[in-house]
């Protein structure tokens, strides 16, 4: 019957050509599968043939390489067609074998039992129009085990099963192996869809399932199991089609033999009105026992429409039923399809990222159970806001939601301060308010409406938060565009107030200079100094500043941050006066502040034994000049303490006491040691009573000051009385925080966020003083952009943006900070290599022993290297650490590459050796940053070696990181070659339109289905089919290759 059908079809083609002489494009017609029969067309790629012959000397190598490059959004497995024995491997880029297929059936010709299957599936899923290059795999064919002396060609090919169905139809096919399955589903209308998958097994229906939209985006869907009590009925998948066209369903089933049955199910779609309490579910107000008996598995869909930026509140309430058998999902439109959100808890804030329809799905998974619920949809009112406005107060009534909207005219850093209060009597809890993300309940997120992301919006989080005097300040980076935020009460039984203030962070007019250093340069020659003013809310927080710097190519970048005493003299007084002087009396446990001030108590009890004398200053100081009206006697002894952050630390060591234990006028100079560096403000507990007992001086905020505490251990008679204390060499100190980001290199995102970039080290306790024992500057240099060896970023040129926030400064005025970017790439020694030959031999044929006889066999000493390089490592090593030899290589993309390396005078002890990195310029596949542009190829190579790997670019760079062994003259010999690497390409078919199908069975191994390409307009072909009629059954499916 099938042959007859093909003859009738051929006649119809001839008739069509005869009837129409005008040609309008090509229609590709294939006998795929009737939608109900389940016939399979097992598809293969273009195939890769290896012509391998044996012999010695070797005219053609017994091992050959290929590369398999799939189409986007495919799952494929692989087969080998062979007449002879052999071993075949699928390898990752660095040579890691992912699967090995050994053909060892005996005989000179074993083609009758061909093909053989790999146990490997390749995944090329992507939301982009290109695959991740790291998804590419290499193929190795080895014919050394073949029994015959004359070998037939070997062919490796990709393979997958292919089916087609239309919306509203069903598909039933046998699953007889683990080969991936592609089902093209032609969907003719947008909106919700329900796919039912019958299955006896109660585990997950398939091990993997993916749905791809016609525009090539991975679709969001939800999987459910239909139950009768606890008994499995079937699996079903729900999704919303935003586009009309061909959807690709990818399946992978590890358990077989089995049957795959898919059909579309009908459902009820209702409109959800605004501001109207609406009921749904499987029951009514008063369900009867018969209602329970008649109930079946059901799914309901609700729809409501809106415009981009609309905001709603949805309230859901269960009337009766069980939450564990009813699932509520919100489906909201984006630029790349509908996304699902679980509506487990309400009220829920909703945001419409693009104009279109919202859908709500309610799935009642269990038959013989009734559910009734209500839905209430309400719009959210919007308040226009402008960055930099005066304090804005918004009143929120109980469970009300309000929203603010504002525009950012250009890419900016913005500082926000939020204040929340509530109403109510003291017996009632106050209802704080919050900004909340409408989908995922994240606090203090703004919605960026004009984002490039597939979702048509992006939730913008703070990149830094500072708490000053109990207030939080939130710093955001906001690309130009429209923003909004939804505000609600934390306790929706109470009213609340939300207050917001904001300001733009100023951009510096000039970029930070980038200094590319080379030997013997150690310090940047160019830098930029910026002044930071006190913030209007609190002077300890300085106004942030936005800085930029430009990167033009690969490099090893550091941020150098320096504060000079000479730039900050006005901020560093040489002398000062204590803010507070107190005596604590151990007898009555009281604090005294008198004029003149006795150092210890004069109550005559113990003559000051275990009394305390406390000096408070807003700044650290390195010494104090004491003048006494009454010096103490020589019998006393005083110990001094400062607060070290977690304990009271005694000042010891080289401290100079010119007062001789407070018995004469003089100067006390503190020891500038680690304890002094760790000196912090505050005195959380009492020095005498210990932890658990606070040191609480009335009317004094102890945390505002540095405290120097004198502890009396021997009696003074008389007790010393102070006339005047002058503090010497005051210091200023504080922290400097950074947030580094850049415009994204990924076309579907706006910002490369700080979480994915190596940030500058956050600086704490930067301290300046005019004391001659303290350096006249503070400086920190830290790596940026790329962390970890080899501290090298790829070719990620662009403008980087650096937010600088000085905070926790004890000086209330302006401070000046100096910045420079240092690039150590100039220290590396560089060379180039053009690859123009195949390998001379294989890695196992090269050893460090004596020369192995043979035309193509070498040891590392006699290998004919094309490049020799010797350099002085002293001129290459960066700051006394590793040095880098950088080799720019030019060859062919995807070719399997061989590196032969010989070296001398490299340190091989203590975990050292040669670390080899591969650098390539690759497209970003997401917003996590460069796509592994720098990867470790070989770790700690300690002997001359041969390394083979796959490259993804015509131009790639090898980076050799090493230390010398004491002999500074490091030597390398390099040989690079590439195998003639064949390419196996795979193109997925795409069904569209209608197709003529032959009448007959669906045998998996059927080879009779043939593809015919005809230059016939679609309407003519349909007309011919209508005339021929009786010999043709099924629907028309046009197969076309993507991009052609």
The predicted pLDDT at position 28 comes to: 31
The predicted pLDDT at position 317 comes to: 86
Is-contact 791 783, C-beta < 8 A?
A: yes
**CATH number of residue 258's parent domain:** 2.60.120.380
In a 13 Å sphere around the CA of 411, the CA atoms on its Cβ side amount to 16
Encode pLDDT of 992-1006 as tens digits. 754 322 222 233 333
* pLDDT band at residue 149 using 50, 70 and 90 as cut-offs: confident
The predicted pLDDT at position 858 comes to: 82
Is-contact 291 327, C-beta < 8 A?
A: no
**CATH number of residue 430's parent domain:** 2.60.120
Residue 591 reports pLDDT greater than 70 = yes
Residue 6 reports pLDDT greater than 90 = no
H or E element in which residue 12 lies: helix 2-19
Phi, psi of 676 (to 5 degrees): -65, -40
Do 395 and 302 fall into the same domain? no
- Domain end, chosen from 440, 474, 504, is at 504
Across the strands, what pairs with 447? 459, 484
Do 386 and 368 fall into the same domain? no
The predicted pLDDT at position 398 comes to: 86
0.95 cut: is pTM over it? no
Do 835 and 974 fall into the same domain? yes
Distance CA 449, CA 516 (A): 40
Residue 516 reports pLDDT greater than 60 = yes
Is-contact 439 351, C-beta < 8 A?
A: yes
* pLDDT band at residue 623 using 50, 70 and 90 as cut-offs: very high
Residue 22 lies in a domain: yes
Residue 744 lies in a domain: no
Residue 754 reports pLDDT greater than 50 = yes
Residue 538 lies in a domain: no
- Domain end, chosen from 726, 753, 768, is at 726
* pLDDT band at residue 8 using 50, 70 and 90 as cut-offs: very low
Distance CA 631, CA 722 (A): 8
The predicted pLDDT at position 635 comes to: 66
Across the strands, what pairs with 313? 349, 378
Residue 772 lies in a domain: no
pLDDT, average across residues 962-982: 95
Distance CA 303, CA 272 (A): 6
- Range with the largest mean pLDDT of 225-239, 357-371, 756-770: 756-770
Do 1010 and 943 fall into the same domain? no
Residue 833 reports pLDDT greater than 80 = yes
Residue 390 lies in a domain: yes
Do 124 and 152 fall into the same domain? yes
> Comparing 10-14, 392-396, 438-442, 647-651, which segment has the lowest mean pLDDT?
10-14
pLDDT, average across residues 150-176: 91
> Comparing 304-318, 414-428, 942-956, which segment has the lowest mean pLDDT?
414-428
Distance CA 884, CA 781 (A): 20
Residue 324 reports pLDDT greater than 90 = no
The predicted pLDDT at position 253 comes to: 72
Residue by residue, DSSP assigns 587-624 as: TTTEEE--SSEESS--SSSGGGTT-EEEEEESS-EEEE
The predicted pLDDT at position 199 comes to: 54
Handedness of CA 687, 690, 691, 693 (dihedral sign): negative
The predicted pLDDT at position 436 comes to: 63
* pLDDT band at residue 426 using 50, 70 and 90 as cut-offs: very low
* pLDDT band at residue 247 using 50, 70 and 90 as cut-offs: very high
Do 846 and 934 fall into the same domain? yes
The predicted pLDDT at position 204 comes to: 46
Encode pLDDT of 909-939 as tens digits. 888 999 999 999 999 999 888 899 999 999 9
Residue 817 lies in a domain: no
Which of 184, 242, 251, 181 is closest to 215 using CA atoms? 242
Do 402 and 284 fall into the same domain? no
Residue 971 reports pLDDT greater than 90 = yes
Q: Rg (Cα) of the chain, in Å, rounded? A: 38
Dihedral of CA atoms 628, 634, 636, 640 in degrees, nearest 10, equals: 60
The predicted pLDDT at position 154 comes to: 95
Encode pLDDT of 473-495 as tens digits. 999 999 999 999 998 887 878 88
Q: Residue 544: helix, strand or coil by DSSP? A: coil
Residue 302 reports pLDDT greater than 60 = yes
Residue 555 lies in a domain: no
The predicted pLDDT at position 723 comes to: 93
- Domain end, chosen from 363, 379, 395, is at 379
* pLDDT band at residue 257 using 50, 70 and 90 as cut-offs: low
The predicted pLDDT at position 424 comes to: 38
Q: Residue 779: helix, strand or coil by DSSP? A: strand
Encode pLDDT of 258-300 as tens digits. 778 889 988 889 999 999 999 988 766 655 554 444 445 678 8
Measured in residues, the chain has a length of 1044
The predicted pLDDT at position 432 comes to: 57
CA 905 to chain CA mean position, Å: 40
The predicted pLDDT at position 162 comes to: 94
pLDDT, average across residues 769-788: 89
The first and second tokens of residue 368, run together, are 């013989």
Q: How many domains does the chain have?
A: 7
The β-bridge relationship of strands 934-941 and 829-834 is unpaired
Do 298 and 212 fall into the same domain? no
Which of 50, 334, 342 is closest to 217 using CA atoms? 334
- Write down the residue that tokens 């499995």 correspond to: 232
Distance CA 409, CA 416 (A): 17
The predicted pLDDT at position 873 comes to: 92
Which of 909, 918, 984 is closest to 950 using CA atoms? 918
If you average pLDDT over every residue of the chain, what do you get?
83
- pLDDT: which is higher, 751 or 391: 751
Do 604 and 719 fall into the same domain? yes
- Kindly state the percentage of the chain with pLDDT values over 70: 83
Dihedral of CA atoms 344, 349, 351, 356 in degrees, nearest 10, equals: 60
The predicted pLDDT at position 174 comes to: 81
Distance CA 232, CA 81 (A): 42
**CATH number of residue 901's parent domain:** 2.60.120.1090
Give the single-character DSSP code of 420.
Answer: E
Do 395 and 375 fall into the same domain? no
Residue 622 lies in a domain: yes
Is-contact 947 916, C-beta < 8 A?
A: yes
Do 365 and 389 fall into the same domain? no
pLDDT, average across residues 131-157: 93
Do 586 and 702 fall into the same domain? yes
pLDDT, average across residues 756-773: 91
The predicted pLDDT at position 87 comes to: 95
Across the strands, what pairs with 68? 137, 984
> Comparing 409-413, 601-605, 748-752, which segment has the lowest mean pLDDT?
601-605
Residue 23: domain span? 2-31+996-1041
Phi, psi of 141 (to 5 degrees): -115, 125
Q: Using N-to-C axis directions, what is the helix angle for 2-19 and 1018-1028, rounded to 10°? A: 130
Neighbours of 56 (CB within 10 A): 9
Encode pLDDT of 517-542 as tens digits. 999 998 999 999 999 999 988 999 99
């Amino acid at each position: 019957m099938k042959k007859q059908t093909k003859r009738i079809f051929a006649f119809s083609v001839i008739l069509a050509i005869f009837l129409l002489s005008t040609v309008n494009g090509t229609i590709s017609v294939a006998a795929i599968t009737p939608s109900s029969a389940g016939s399979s067309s097992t598809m293969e790629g273009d195939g890769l043939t290896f012509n391998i012959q044996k012999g010695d000397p070797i005219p053609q190598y017994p091992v050959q390489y290929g590369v398999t490059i799939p189409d986007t959004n495919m799952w494929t497995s692989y087969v080998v067609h062979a007449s002879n024995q052999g071993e075949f491997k699928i390898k990752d880029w660095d040579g890691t074998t992912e699967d090995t297929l050994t053909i060892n059936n005996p005989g000179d010709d074993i083609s009758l039992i061909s093909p053989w299957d790999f146990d490997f599936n390749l995944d090329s899923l992507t939301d982009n129009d290109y695959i991740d290059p790291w998804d590419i795999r290499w193929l190795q064919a080895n014919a050394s085990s073949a029994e015959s002396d004359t070998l037939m060609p070997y062919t490796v090919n990709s393979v997958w099963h292919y089916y087609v169905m239309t919306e509203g139809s069903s598909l039933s096919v046998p699953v007889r192996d683990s080969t991936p399955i592609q089902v093209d589903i032609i969907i003719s209308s947008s909106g919700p869809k329900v796919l039912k998958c019958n299955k006896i097994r109660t585990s997950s229906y398939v091990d993997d399932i993916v749905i791809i939209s016609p525009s090539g985006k991975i679709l969001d869907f939800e999987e459910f199991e239909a139950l009768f009590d606890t008994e499995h009925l079937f699996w079903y998948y729900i999704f919303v089609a935003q586009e009309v066209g061909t959807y690709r369903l990818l399946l992978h089933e590890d358990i077989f033999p089995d049957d795959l049955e898919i059909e579309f199910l009908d459902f009820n779609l209702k409109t959800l009105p605004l501001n109207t309490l609406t009921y749904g579910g499987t029951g009514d107000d008063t369900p009867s026992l018969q209602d329970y008996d008649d109930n079946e598995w059901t799914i309901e869909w609700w729809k409501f429409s809106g415009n981009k930026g609309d905001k709603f509140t949805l309230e859901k309430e269960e009337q009766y039923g069980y939450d564990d058998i009813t699932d509520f999902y919100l489906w909201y439109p984006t630029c790349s399809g509908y996304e699902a959100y679980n509506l487990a808890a309400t009220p829920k804030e909703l945001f419409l990222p693009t104009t279109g329809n919202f859908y709500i799905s309610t799935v009642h998974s269990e038959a013989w159970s009734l559910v009734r619920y209500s839905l209430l949809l309400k719009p959210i009112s919007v308040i226009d806001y402008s960055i930099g406005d005066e304090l804005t107060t918004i009143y929120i009534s109980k469970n009300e939601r309000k929203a603010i909207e504002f525009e950012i005219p250009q890419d900016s850093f913005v500082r926000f301060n939020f204040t929340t209060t509530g109403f109510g009597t003291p017996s009632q809890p106050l209802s704080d308010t919050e900004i909340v993300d409408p989908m995922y309940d994240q606090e203090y997120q703004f919605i960026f409406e004009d984002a490039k992301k597939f979702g048509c919006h992006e939730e913008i989080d703070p990149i830094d938060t500072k708490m000053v005097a109990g207030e939080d300040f939130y710093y955001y980076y906001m690309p130009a565009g429209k923003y909004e935020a939804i505000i609600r009460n934390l306790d929706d039984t109470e009213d609340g107030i939300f207050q917001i203030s904001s300001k733009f962070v100023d951009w510096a007019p000039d970029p930070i200079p980038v200094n590319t250093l080379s030997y013997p340069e150690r310090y940047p020659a160019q830098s930029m100094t910026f002044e930071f003013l006190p913030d209007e809310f609190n002077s300890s927080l300085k106004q942030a500043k936005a800085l930029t710097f430009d990167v033009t190519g690969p490099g090893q970048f550091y941020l150098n941050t320096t504060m000079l005493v000479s730039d900050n003299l006005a901020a560093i007084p040489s002398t000062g006066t204590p803010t507070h002087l107190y005596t604590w009396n151990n007898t009555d446990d009281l604090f005294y502040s008198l004029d003149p001030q006795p150092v210890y108590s004069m109550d005559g009890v113990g003559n000051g034994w275990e009394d305390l004398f406390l000096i408070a200053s807003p700044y650290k100081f390195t010494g104090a000049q004491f003048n006494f009206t009454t010096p103490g006697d020589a019998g006393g002894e005083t110990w001094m303490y400062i607060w070290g952050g977690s304990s009271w630390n005694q000042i010891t060591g080289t401290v100079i006491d010119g007062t001789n234990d407070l018995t004469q006028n003089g100067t006390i100079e503190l020891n500038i040691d680690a304890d002094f560096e760790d000196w912090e403000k505050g005195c959380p507990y009492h020095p005498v009573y210990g932890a658990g007992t606070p040191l609480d001086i009335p009317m004094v905020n102890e945390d505002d000051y540095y405290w120097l505490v004198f502890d009396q251990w021997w009696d003074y008679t008389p007790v010393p009385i102070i006339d005047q204390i002058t503090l010497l060499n005051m210091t200023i100190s504080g922290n400097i925080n950074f947030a580094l980001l850049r415009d994204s290199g990924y076309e579907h995102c706006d910002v490369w966020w700080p979480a994915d970039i190596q940030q500058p080290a956050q600086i704490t306790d930067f301290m300046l003083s005019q004391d001659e024992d303290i350096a006249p500057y503070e400086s920190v240099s830290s790596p940026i952009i790329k962390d970890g060896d080899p501290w090298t970023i790829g070719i990620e040129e662009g403008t980087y943006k650096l937010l600088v926030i000085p905070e926790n400064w004890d000086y209330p005025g302006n401070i000046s900070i100096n910045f420079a970017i240092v690039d150590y790439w100039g220290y590396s020694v560089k060379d180039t290599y053009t690859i123009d030959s195949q390998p001379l031999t294989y890695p196992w044929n090269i050893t460090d022993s004596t020369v192995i006889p043979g035309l193509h066999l070498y040891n590392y000493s006699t290998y004919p290297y094309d490049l020799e390089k010797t350099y002085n490592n002293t001129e290459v090593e960066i700051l006394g650490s590793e040095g880098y030899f950088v080799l720019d290589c030019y060859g062919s993309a995807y070719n399997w590459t061989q590196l032969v390396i010989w070296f001398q005078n490299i340190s091989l002890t203590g975990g050292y050796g040669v670390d080899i990195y591969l650098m390539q310029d690759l497209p970003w596949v997401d917003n996590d940053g460069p796509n592994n542009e720098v990867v470790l190829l070989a770790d700690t190579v300690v002997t001359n070696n041969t390394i083979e790997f796959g490259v993804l670019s015509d131009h790639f760079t090898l980076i050799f990181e090493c230390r010398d062994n004491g002999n500074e003259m490091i030597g390398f010999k390099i040989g690079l070659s590439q195998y003639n690497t064949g390419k196996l390409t795979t193109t997925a078919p795409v069904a569209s339109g209608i197709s003529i199908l032959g009448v007959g069975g669906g045998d998996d191994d059927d080879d009779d289905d043939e593809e015919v390409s005809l230059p016939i307009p679609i309407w003519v072909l349909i007309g011919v089919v209508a005339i021929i009629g009786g010999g043709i059954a099924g629907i028309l499916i046009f197969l076309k290759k993507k991009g052609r």
